[in-house]
Amino acid sequence: MVKTERFLSKREVLANKYKVDVTRGGESAIYSGRAVAALAQDKGMIKQTGRMLNVADLAWEHGFTDIDGRQPAQMYSLRFLLENAFYYALYRLRGPR
């Protein structure tokens, strides 16, 4: 999830609703910009034309990071599933409040 200014302005409301830090693991808008810059420098960019691309995949392939030095997990990776399964299970145990 991209931490836009609008999303960050709603952080407290979402955190109270879901009882977890909803921005944990998110990515900045700069990360998306770095993906665009990496594609612009890629000589094989034409192979990507007409496809939907995942920023985490591009970061892995091109070696760039977010502004905090992290490479957020790819959403279909085992790392992403394990990191988020705990929070989902916790939410399910607590139930909506």
pLDDT band with cut points at 50, 70 and 90 for residue 19: low
Structure confidence at residue 97 as a pLDDT band (50, 70, 90): low
Mean pLDDT (the chain) is: 79
**Residue 65: CA atoms inside 13 Å, Cβ hemisphere, count?**
5
Full domain range(s) for residue 11? 5-94
Whether 38 has a pLDDT exceeding 80, the answer reads: yes
Instruction: Please give the average per-residue pLDDT across 36-53, as a whole number.
Output: 89
Q: Token pair of 38, please?
A: 């990496």
pTM to 2 decimal places: 0.65
Q: Is the pLDDT of residue 52 over 60?
A: yes
Provide, rounded to the nearest whole percent, the portion of the chain with pLDDT above 90. 23
| 89 φ, ψ (degrees, to nearest 5) | -65, -40
The domain total for the chain is: 1
Tell whether the model's pLDDT for residue 64 goes beyond 90.
Answer: yes
Distance CA 88, CA 93 (A): 9
